[in-house]
Amino acid sequence: MTASAGLWQVRFPRAAATVSRGLAFSLADGHFLAALPPAAGWAPPALFAVGFATGATTLGYARVFSEALWIVLLAAAAGFLATQLGAALTAGFALGDFLLGQRVWDVNSPVGAGLFDDGLLAGLLRVRLPMLIGYALLAGLAVYLPRLARLLIADIPKVENLPRPAAFGLALALNAVVVAVTTRLWAESCAVLVRPLFTWQGGSPSTIAVSTLQVRASWVVLVAVLATAARFALLWWVYGDRARMERVVAVEEAVAQGPGTTPWLERAGPVAGAVGAAAFTTLILAGVVEAWWVAAVLFAVFCLLRLLREGRIPPRLDGWKQTAARIPVLIRLAVALLVVDTVRRVFVDANDADFTRLALFLGLSVVVLYLLLPGPPTLAGEQPPRQAPR
């Protein structure tokens, strides 16, 4: 293994494990590139460089990535092929855009000169903070959604009894369906959630920032599905040869030898973890929040659901968790999406510009998803986990 391959395939995931298990999993997904030693070393830094150059020059966009369809398609292709590649592209883009591409750091308000209306602090809160929301939305497509899709098909019942080609084909088909559904939902919601990059400065979203994802969501779905198929084809090729498989296994063993310490996000404790996760989720949904009381309600709901999921507050709901665990997760997800869509038709008018109603609908949707995906049950005599991997 070259020094570059060792850095990206082993050292970065091991270092990330000291911060967050979820981050480590995301950076390690792509270790199968070790079967192609040159690609294992140059693919991640190449995508990082492309992302950095794009952000530093604001190539094809003015304010937010959603103004350039090609950036979205590249993020989908990289992330659904391997989250390691999606993370490299997103990190490079965020650094280039934040440090060089976007040069406004303060706000010159014609209305007033209050602490949050004018000056550097106002710029940090009203210009720079929304930029972080934009990067998180891009990471949602390139890192979180691919990982979520793979987790959702991880418990296909009795798949081990099928012949290997049939099991592989079934996993590919189910993954493609989940990817298509979740990617379209991301595209439709992202078109709204990028609003803070404009509205927090007193403006309105540009037409292209919104319409690009609303009108061309099918292209994002297509690229995500094709990248998923390419991933499965590459995995089939890798595990079909003993020498290639041994190189991949060697990387897995090297990553597993990382530090055995508890990630510091977990050492913060369950309450701090719940508060942090709830605050982050509420911030991501800021595009549909137009009143402080709505943000407070969403924050409280997300925080309580996190603590309930981990069994930190009553009721423990272990009986319901055990019952839900007997139903394949894909079936539960399908029911959840059906219920959420039914509620949307009743609760939110497609032509309604009332974002408060939309925000409350999103909060209600999260509750429905929690009830049908409550997490694994706690075994008798077992203590709740310190914190779920993020």
pLDDT in tens, 284-329: 999 988 889 999 999 999 999 988 888 788 887 788 888 887 887 7
The SS3 call for residue 107 is strand
Write the CB contacts of 50 (distance below 8 Å, at least 6 apart in sequence): 74, 89, 92
* pLDDT score of 262: 81
Averaged pLDDT for residues 225-238: 94
Confidence of residue 216 (pLDDT cuts 50, 70, 90): very high
Alpha-carbon separation of residue 176 from 76, 231, 338 (angstroms)? 13, 11, 19
Write the CB contacts of 72 (distance below 8 Å, at least 6 apart in sequence): 65, 66, 138, 141, 187, 212, 213, 220
Query: CB–CB of 90/142 below 8 Å?
Result: yes
The DSSP-derived string for 24-61 is HHHHHTTGGGGGSHHHHHHHHHHHHHHHHHHHHHTTT-
Q: CA 24, CA 264: separation in Å to the nearest integer?
A: 13
Half-sphere exposure of 371 (CA within 13 A, CB side): 12
Alpha-carbon separation of residue 317 from 23, 335, 363, 380 (angstroms)? 28, 20, 20, 13
In tens, the pLDDT along 5-30 reads 888 999 999 999 888 888 999 999 99
Q: CA 128, CA 132: separation in Å to the nearest integer?
A: 7
- The one-letter amino acid at 241: D
In tens, the pLDDT along 334-369 reads 888 888 878 777 766 655 557 888 888 888 888 888
381 pLDDT above the threshold of 50? no
Confidence of residue 386 (pLDDT cuts 50, 70, 90): very low
Per-domain boundaries in the chain: 1-261, 262-390
Confidence of residue 387 (pLDDT cuts 50, 70, 90): very low
pTM confidence score: 0.89
In tens, the pLDDT along 64-120 reads 999 999 999 999 999 999 999 999 999 999 999 999 999 888 876 655 545 567 778
Write the CB contacts of 27 (distance below 8 Å, at least 6 apart in sequence): 12, 13, 16, 83, 84, 87
In tens, the pLDDT along 36-54 reads 888 999 999 999 999 999 9
